[in-house]
Structure 1
């Protein structure tokens, strides 16, 4: 199965806009939920990342999860429209607090898949390696490890096109009245109606309930891929992420991953966020 094509293909009934700030810990915390949604229900929705910059309060890291009985608290949001960015005058550069978002937009100019790879690598460097992504050499290292054309990336990070693309994301954020990250806005692709906006970090079931409300029926989940395929697709994943995705005890995940470790398919990395597994086996195209 071509996993990337499965997750990113078009012609799906739902369209999700995922508003993030690479520097927001809650956005990083939501990634396991996004991964599981993509593998189980990726045949129902396309996912677009929107870089929103310094919107969330980064001191509010310990936000509690919303309980299932609070699921009706998601908001109606504005209707979609053709968003023009020609009227924006903001200028951003490498000294901007938005540098992480600008770098992701530069990577996206090499394709959606490249942009996602770079974003994941950037989050890895920020949250797991505690690196300062304001340093140009760190951005270059992330670009290299994300398999980007580094020379093109460096040209693009300074370009007007990248600045304009990021300004467009800020415009979309404003048009959809998004005031915090992470936020996901759900749209039905086949019906011109308002979307549903869900902010913060919520339980997995709440996101499925929102999909159910928009679709008018409970979506049917797709079988999860074999564990090695999951790790190979994500390249870098935690024991916690695997346990959450496959609904397995942590000890069982550790045992399964140790088997892959002995087969030299993965490398184990200990961090302050827990144990992570890096895929080091044969590279394949998804």
Structure 2
């Protein structure tokens, strides 16, 4: 399974709750590979006509709309105050980490998205990328320096070529490739059932064995924080049921409950 994405893709952020559950329940049936597609090289001549984006200021409203619709919090005011100039720096850092540690690379991507969408940090800036790397136990200065060298861009170009060969035109796109190299493509942030059906088609079966969902305490051990929407999707809850669920599943000493941009999230203490 190729997941073609970009660190600043708002619809990829919206997909996080569904994608996590899909991988938790069915990840044993496929190999997961993240491919970076290159959403924003720079603003010189950039235009996303479909979404009405021609300048950084245009992104703010688009992001807010995506956040309100998905309930994955997005601030977006940085596009007015301190615009991201390119998604390539964060993408290069991801690729450099991915060469030696796939799990760490995916953790970096998640933390970078939390930073840029919910906490309004500019992940196009070197100091922010170094800080995120340091927070996940890496040597931020070393990783970012390597990403800035030609090697980082070389890795990125390889991903661009792969995305192109898969016929990807937008993000997020998931491409399932079966044993006969036949491709099944799912474009955009879709419901869980859409990905399940695509995987059934790729495997040629309707009797896939889904793994059980881990208890919340175990899931929170793996994640620094989870937004309410992510808990809802993972455990089939309504929004107003989440707080009571947390109290039942976790001890007060192990988590804290916060609010940002009108949405709740739980984090490890």
Pairwise same-fold verdict (TM > 0.5) = yes
Partner residue of 1:197?
Answer: 185
Count of matched residue positions in the alignment of Structure 1 and Structure 2: 234
- 2:175 and 2:186 in contact (8 A); partners too: yes
Partner residue of 1:129?
Answer: 119
Matched ranges for 1:271-282 at <5 A: 271-272=260-261, 274-280=263-269
Q: CA deviation at 1:109?
A: 3.5
Q: CA deviation at 1:260?
A: 6.2
Q: Which runs of 5+ in 1 are unaligned?
A: 1-15, 66-93, 281-286
Separation in 1, partners of 2:242, 2:197: 28
Instruction: Select 1:247's aligned residue among 224, 236, 240.
Output: 236
- 1:103 and 1:157 in contact (8 A); partners too: yes
Partner residue of 2:209?
Answer: 220
Instruction: Select 1:155's aligned residue among 139, 145, 155.
Output: 145
Separation in 1, partners of 2:136, 2:204: 39
Partner residue of 1:175?
Answer: 165
Instruction: Say if 2:106 is the partner of 1:116.
Output: yes
Instruction: Select 1:24's aligned residue among 9, 13, 30.
Output: 9
Partner residue of 2:33?
Answer: 48
CA RMSD in angstroms, aligned pairs only: 2.3
Q: Per residue, is there more helix in 1 or in 2?
A: 2
- 1:21 and 1:181 in contact (8 A); partners too: yes
Give the TM-score of the pair, scaled to structure 2.
0.80
Q: CA deviation at 1:124?
A: 0.6
CA gap of 1:262–1:112, structure 2 versus 1, over 3 A, is same
> What is the CA deviation profile of residues 75-106 of structure 1, one whole-angstrom value per residue up to 9, with x for unaligned ones?
xxxxxxxxxxxxxxxxxxx9754222122113
SS in structure 1 at match of 2:120: coil
Q: Which runs of 5+ in 2 are unaligned?
A: 41-47, 54-58, 70-83
Separation in 2, partners of 1:193, 1:150: 38
> What is the CA deviation profile of residues 165-216 of structure 1, one whole-angstrom value per residue up to 9, with x for unaligned ones?
111011111111100000000012xx22321111111111011011111212
Separation in 1, partners of 2:236, 2:212: 13
- 1:156 and 1:162 in contact (8 A); partners too: yes
Provide runs of 4+ in structure 1 moved above 3 Å. Answer: 55-63, 94-97, 258-262
SS in structure 2 at match of 1:43: helix
Greater relative contact order (CA < 8 Å, ≥ 6 in sequence):
1
CA gap of 1:273–1:137, structure 2 versus 1, over 3 A, is farther
